[in-house]
Amino acid sequence: MNNNFMIIDGSPVPIEGEKNLLELIRKAGIEMPTFCYYSELSVYGACRMCMVENKWGGMEAACSTPPKAGMEIKTNTPRLRKYRKMILELLLANHCRDCTTCDKNGKCKLQELATRFDVHRVRFDNPKSEPLIDDSSLSITRDANKCILCGDCVRMCNEIQNVGAIDFAFRGSNMKVACAFNKPIAESNCVGCGQCAAVCPTAAIVIKDDAHLLWQQLNDNDTLAIAQVAPAVRVAVAKEFGYKGENVMGKITACLHRIGFDLVFDTATGADMTVMEEANEFLERLENGGPFPMFTSCCPAWVKYAENEYPELLPNISTCRSPMQMFAPVIHEQYKNCGKKVLSVAVMPCTAKKFEAARDEFKDENGKPYVDIVITTQELIKMIKQAGIVFEDIEPEAIDLPFGTMTGSGVIFGVTGGVMEAVIRRVSDDKSISALRNLAFEGVRGFGDIREFELPLKDRTLKVAAVNGLGNVAKIVERIKSGEHFDLIEVMACPNGCIGGAGQPFASTHEKHKRGENLYKADKLCTLKFSEENPLMKELYSGMLKGREHELLHVNYVK
């Protein structure tokens, strides 16, 4: 008989390698309340919401107690309910309670748990504290007065992203989350990945909202409003509308048309250009002997991270612009003489794209950014709701001409390893379906931290790697510095790639992986798998881009 089980609320639950009671309780189908527990972060044990009572009446925090065979615990006793309610009441005692006007209204963990535990009276005055806003960053907005000090953002920034822009400062009742010397976040080494906002349970860190700016500029007859939609967006929208669909690009296109966009394009088309350019650059480097490894340049948070931490590696970063920033100048060239004011908008899974769009490198001949406004997936969802569109009912529409074609290579850009796979498809000699299938299984796909493999090309063997998340960059850089050779390295700042971007609706790791699978499914359904097969590429390269590839599609980050 298997004795390795414990009793949770009277029922036996087998212990199967769970790290802590909390995981076991969740496995037993009980939703434990927490503010500070995320399975991918270290255990902090700060919020005390996940307390359980043992059979002797002792209280333990489930997140920081390892399971033990024979243990008996209860998760819902009068005492626990009272304590949880008290914690919530005290948190609310110095937290602004003007929920209706809060950015996080309806999505706030504090609000959710206060509702769940029936906190309908707080014995302290509403502090109505003035917001303490830091809106220096183009990616995120902080309000220190809405912080409950759970430390999720600090651990995300330090442990997972290895950036360390924020940390706790001061102590006791003066404690707060801050940059060094309380500097505004824009003056710190923040890379804008936004993962702090993705884990923040309240509105202490939120994505910078540009939707209201966009509303102001839409629906103007003298403006030609153009949207491009990134690959990762299409697999992250449906759930927010309670719609059972996976890839809803057609519906998103229809919604954008309805919202007021004249033209909707797919950033996967831009990604096809990136594949063409990046593959060319890679082949050139192979011919000229380097510099190696060549790093991908699609991810703006990674580029910023490299600028901060490894300026010596900047010559190794591909000079290719990101798909968004390749597509935008092409759109600009196409419509600059259309007689209307062009409003170029990008719908992205990413908060760092807001910062990228404002970089000096990406401005046209008049000093105007190629991309006027970047909205995230979350902002798109909000706008669809604000427009009153019933997502379930809206009929899918096709993207517009003349940029109406994209390939599977462009679509998989949204998942870690995707850029690399697309470039390999381009440079590889074997273009058969079986070669494609093999490639998918050789290690390029998946969600491991650093996935590396070897690839024969003509007379040599290439060593390539995909780095999943900024936290793994230091490891590979160390190996490079100790002499190890890599030819091509893809880096995506957010764990799991763009599908896990901070601009996406909140999702569990499992749900993020599902999004990745759905992008691969979309690739499978694409008739065209190789970027060079995209008829639009042939047209562009023999037309608008002829002789101007470098001017429009490349950038030099080396100062």
Partner 1 sequence: MSSVLNENFDYGQLDKIIEQHEPTAVIAILQDIQEIYRYLPPEIFPYLAEKLHTSESRIYSIATFYENFSLDPKGKYVIKVCDGTACHVRKSVPILNYLREELGLDEKKKTTDDLSFTVETVSCLGACGLAPVMTVNDEVHSGMTPESAAALLGSLKEAL
Q: Which amino acids are annotated catalytic?
A: 278, 281, 298, 318, 353, 356, 361, 498
Taking the complex as a whole, the smallest distance from the CB of residue 444 to partner 1 amounts, in Å, to 31
Contacts of 163 (CB under 8 A, 6+ apart): 157, 189, 190, 191, 193, 305, 470
Query: Which 158-177 positions form the footprint of partner 1 (CB under 8 A)?
Result: 158, 163-171
Q: Which residue has the tokens 């969802």?
A: 381
Taking the complex as a whole, the smallest distance from the CB of residue 170 to partner 1 amounts, in Å, to 5
Q: Pick from 18, 60, 246, 309: which binds partner 1 (CB under 8 A)?
A: 309
Helix axes 323-335, 267-288, angle to 10 degrees: 110
Query: Which 204-233 positions form the footprint of partner 1 (CB under 8 A)?
Result: none
Asked if 532 is part of the footprint of partner 1 (rule: CB under 8 A), the reply reads no
Q: Residue 86 is encoded by which pair of tokens?
A: 């008290």
Helix (H, G, I), strand (E, B) or coil at 459: coil
Closest CB to partner 1 among residues 262, 309:
309
Contacts by 77-80, CB closer than 8 A, 24 or more apart: 77/53, 79/53, 80/51, 80/52, 80/53
Query: Which 17-56 positions form the footprint of partner 1 (CB under 8 A)?
Result: none
Give one DSSP letter per residue of 123-161, joined into a string: SS----PPP-EE--SSSEEEEGGG-----HHHHIIIIIS
Contacts of 105 (CB under 8 A, 6+ apart): 99, 111
CA dihedral (297, 299, 304, 309) positive or negative: negative
Q: Which residue has the tokens 């992205």?
A: 348
Q: Residue 102 is encoded by which pair of tokens?
A: 């809060």
Contact string 250-289 vs partner 1 (x = CB under 8 A): ----------------------------------------
Residue 143's DSSP bridge partners are 133
Closest CB to partner 1 among residues 119, 317:
317
Q: Which residues of 512-527 are buried (b: 16+ CB within 10 A; e: fewer)?
A: bbbbbebbbebbeebe
Q: Pick from 156, 179, 255, 470: which binds partner 1 (CB under 8 A)?
A: 179
Taking the complex as a whole, the smallest distance from the CB of residue 166 to partner 1 amounts, in Å, to 6
Contact string 82-121 vs partner 1 (x = CB under 8 A): ----------------------------------------
Taking the complex as a whole, the smallest distance from the CB of residue 297 to partner 1 amounts, in Å, to 19
Asked if 189 is part of the footprint of partner 1 (rule: CB under 8 A), the reply reads yes
Q: Which residues of 73-88 are buried (b: 16+ CB within 10 A; e: fewer)?
A: bbbebeebeebbeebb
Q: How far is C-alpha 169 from the geometric centre of its chain's CA atoms? A: 27
Closest CB to partner 1 among residues 33, 151:
151
Closest CB to partner 1 among residues 309, 364:
309
Q: Residue 388 is encoded by which pair of tokens?
A: 């009153």
Taking the complex as a whole, the smallest distance from the CB of residue 467 to partner 1 amounts, in Å, to 19
Asked if 178 is part of the footprint of partner 1 (rule: CB under 8 A), the reply reads yes
Asked if 475 is part of the footprint of partner 1 (rule: CB under 8 A), the reply reads no
Q: Pick from 290, 291, 311, 396: which binds partner 1 (CB under 8 A)?
A: 311
Query: Which 139-158 positions form the footprint of partner 1 (CB under 8 A)?
Result: 158
Q: How many residues of this chain bind partner 1 (CB under 8 A)?
A: 19
Asked if 314 is part of the footprint of partner 1 (rule: CB under 8 A), the reply reads no
Q: Give the footprint of partner 1 on this chain (CB under 8 A).
A: 158, 163-171, 178-181, 188-189, 308-309, 311
